[in-house]
Amino acid sequence: MLLSPVIHCHDRDLFSVAPMIDCTDRHFRYLARLISRKTMLYTEMLTIKEILCDKTGYALQLNAIEHPVGIQLGGSDPALLAHCTQLAVQEGYDEINLNVGCPSDKVQQGGIGACLMLQPKTVAACIEAMVKIATVPVTVKCRLGVDDHDSYEHLAEFIKVVSAQGCSKFIIHARKAWLKGLSPKQNREIPPLDYERAYRLKTDFPHLTIVLNGGIQHFDEVDSHLVRVDGVMLGRAIYNNPYMLHQVDSRYFGGDVGISEEAVVLAYMNYVENELVRGTKLTAMTRHLVKLFHKKPKASYWRKYLGSNGSQKGAGVEIIQQALEQMQG
């Protein structure tokens, strides 16, 4: 049973799936939406360079089924971020999120991501420019801090400076980031979690929406956090077991219990057929399906069949159908 959140925030803030590079692409988001109608979804981070160099507009394309969905932008140039915000709003995204949390070397080299936590005035300038253009919420996803700049006072000052320019929602990955010496994966696991700091932010900035992210695996944990913050975001736990989402609508939004795994597969097959006609590779879509039957009987067969047959020349939707028939047999 859902415990009462701190304030009556927008429904879509209650539960969301994190933006994850190489994971939350359009195909995964379509799959996730088949399982949960209410969960807030996010794109993987799209840099301003990726968007502005894409003459086809494919990077920003949105499927109507994905709503509610936010786009996560990576950048540090206020004017260019404002332009990308305008393009995203025109495409129909429900939220524009600025990445201030990714610690990868590549991202740092571009002067974006987690290193921006050391430059609150730059982030504030970006938010100011984006808010002027946007007709939807502009939000920030950040860490508790970076390197040795990880005191609560530093975090609170960052939130204060940035929120003053119109950002009213912060998604807090409750770990700091080490900019050198750790891989992105290690930065998701090694720096200790400190949920209390996120709770304190909600206490000190009650007018802001605070969404908690990092290390959360189960719905009972989600429930306990919702007593202290406005929303909870899960990442790898969902990607590694997407069918978890079938509980979300009934548990948090008063909706129906999600459909079965088999019904999800059949609906996704229709999407796959249409995408194949557009020239999308089968493996680009089946890679998100492999963990659908997480820990179910024959789950290993499902994974192996899709993995070994999906990449064959000329392979089509029948590969998914054959794998499903074996699961049902």
Look at residue 179 in the predicted model and tell me its pLDDT: 84
CA nearest to 125, candidates 168, 96, 89, 167 = 167
Q: What angle do CA 91, 94, 95 make, to 5 degrees?
A: 105
Reported as type and span, the H/E element at residue 173 is strand 169-173
Instruction: Quickly list H helices, 211-260.
Output: 219-225, 236-239, 248-252
pTM for the structure as a whole = 0.94
> Is 23 considered catalytic here?
no
Look at residue 188 in the predicted model and tell me its pLDDT: 87
Candidates 9, 23, 84, 102; catalytic one: 102
Look at residue 118 in the predicted model and tell me its pLDDT: 96
Instruction: Tell me the average confidence (pLDDT) per consecutive run of 10 residues in the chain, 329 residues long.
Output: 39 94 97 97 97 92 96 98 98 98 83 93 98 97 95 98 98 93 86 96 98 97 98 97 96 88 97 96 96 92 93 91 88
Looking at residue 157, its amino acid is E
Question: How many Cα neighbours within 13 Å face the side chain of 242?
Answer: 26
Looking at residue 99, its amino acid is N
Find tokens 């049902």 and name the residue.
Answer: 328
Question: What is the rounded CA–CA span in Å between residue 142 and residue 104?
Answer: 14
Please give the structure tokens belonging to residue 96.
């524009």
Looking at residue 242, its amino acid is P
